[in-house]
Homo-oligomer: A and B are copies of this chain.
Amino acid sequence: MNFPSKLIEDAVSEISRLPGIGKKTALRLTLHLLKQKEPVTIALTDALINLRKNIQYCVICHNISDKSVCSICEGHKRDRSVICVVEDLPDVLAIENTNQYSGLYHVLGGVISPIQGIGPDELKIETLFKRIDNPSNDVQVKEIILALPATMEGDTTSFFITRKLKDKGLNISSIARGIPVGSELEYTDEITLGRSILTRIKYSAE
């Protein structure tokens, strides 16, 4: 595309660097900003610059935070004996939204992926082991819940962590994989269905 203005061209080229946004969408967003009043663009850019310059990561769980220790790690009502290991911030948000979990988190910042050149050293795995050995507030960690993606990379990461922790006497579990609530059996892929039979849950008559 030949743009009539260098300013438009620069804006479109920068916006289209964002994942999932092509040149046409970038142009649409650019023209939208031009049609809005100037404070709209300034509010957007200020928010982005503020974020990039002032963001911190919790020194304990590596979750994004405004302070050096995040509100979850600081929380008085959280169960400090359980740590849920997740890939990234959206997973923390998703689990928090369920209101089913009151323990702590550990954000790896990714999963092991040899193809993308991501090994254990590129992730925040070592600090997880340190947390278990030297627990904060002197509350012993008893359980690790692995809530990593149901992919080859996620499974590899879970396997790696499980093997490293095998002699620590911890309860290690993975979140259940199976048929999503509300789904029909016939439309479920065979791997999920097969796993859900293998890992079936016993009903008690009581």
Query: Could you list which residues of chain A lie within 8 angstroms of chain B, going by C-beta atoms?
Result: 1-8, 10-11, 13-15, 17-21, 24-25, 27-34, 38, 40-45, 47-55, 63-66, 70-72, 88-90, 92-93, 96-97
Contacts and interface: CB of A to CB of B under 8 A. Distances in A.
A11 B88 contact: no
Copies of this chain assembled into the complex = 2
B10 A19 contact: no
A93 B3 CA distance: 7
25 contacts: A3-B93, A4-B63, A4-B66, A4-B70, A4-B71, A4-B72, A5-B55, A6-B66, A7-B51, A7-B54, A7-B66, A10-B47, A11-B51, A14-B43, A15-B48, A17-B44, A20-B25, A21-B29, A28-B90, A30-B51, A31-B90, A33-B51, A34-B52, A38-B53, A42-B49
Contacts of A92: 4
